[in-house]
């Protein structure tokens, strides 16, 4: 990895602040790990309600955070910018995803918005890293599962039912994505 400062950005939509809080935890964890590993990185955070998704294309590593609402619906800020995704120039960019959902209250739609976002981004030619094992969750269906069904297409958090696992999951996932990302640099 060269010595130039790497630019990492987290773009999220948040109605009830849970996705925003997860973004803050991810930012802090990435700052800690990059400092520990001697990786020069600047980690920025953007609420998509106030910042256009187009801005994300300026970064070396892009992290998108989304939550699933009700019966597999998009969070309102993502819903209002959904068509903007198609215009993003992400060819060759590295992207990681995380999502929030309620696996017990909405077991048939757990992390569906995460899967829908993944499906929109993958066709743009980006390299998606950070697939996350689906062990330790109790759900019935999810659009966020990888083709083999073994992984979610990004970090899956459930602050409603498994808040006590959030910090550990964030730490492990941040370590994982930095390892996957820096291997290619």
Q: For residue 170, which of 102, 104, 110, 96 has the smallest C-alpha distance?
A: 96
pTM value > 0.85:
yes
User: What are the pLDDT digits (tens) for 22-78?
Assistant: 999 999 999 999 999 999 999 999 999 999 999 999 999 999 999 999 999 999 999
Q: What is the CATH number of domain 6-183?
A: 3.40.50.360
Confidence (pLDDT) at 3:
62
Instruction: State yes or no: pLDDT of 183 exceeds 80.
Output: no
> Strand pairing of 94-100 and 127-129?
parallel
| 8-state DSSP, 149 | S
Q: Are 122 and 93 in contact (CB under 8 A)?
A: no
> Given a cut of 70, is residue 84 above it in pLDDT?
yes
pLDDT band at 97 (very low <50, low <70, confident <90, very high): very high
182 confidence band (pLDDT: 50, 70, 90): confident
């Amino acid at each position: 990895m060269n010595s130039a400062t790497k630019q990492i950005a987290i773009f999220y939509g948040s109605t009830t602040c849970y996705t925003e809080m997860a973004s803050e935890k991810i930012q802090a964890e990435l700052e800690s790990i990059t400092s520990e590993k001697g990786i020069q990185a600047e980690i920025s955070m953007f609420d998509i309600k106030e910042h256009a998704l187009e801005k994300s294309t300026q970064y070396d590593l892009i992290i998108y955070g989304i939550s699933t609402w009700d019966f597999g619906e998009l969070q309102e800020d993502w819903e209002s910018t959904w068509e903007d995704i198609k215009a993003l120039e992400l060819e060759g960019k590295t992207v990681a995803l995380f999502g929030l959902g309620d696996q017990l209250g909405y077991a048939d739609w757990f992390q569906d918005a995460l899967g829908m976002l993944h499906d929109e981004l993958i066709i743009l030619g980006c390299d998606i890293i950070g697939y996350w094992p689906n062990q330790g969750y109790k759900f019935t269906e999810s659009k966020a599962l990888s083709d083999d069904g073994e992984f979610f297409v990004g970090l899956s958090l459930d602050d409603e039912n498994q808040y006590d696992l959030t910090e550990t999951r964030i730490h492990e996932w941040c370590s994982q994505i930095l390892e996957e990302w820096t291997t290619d640099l």
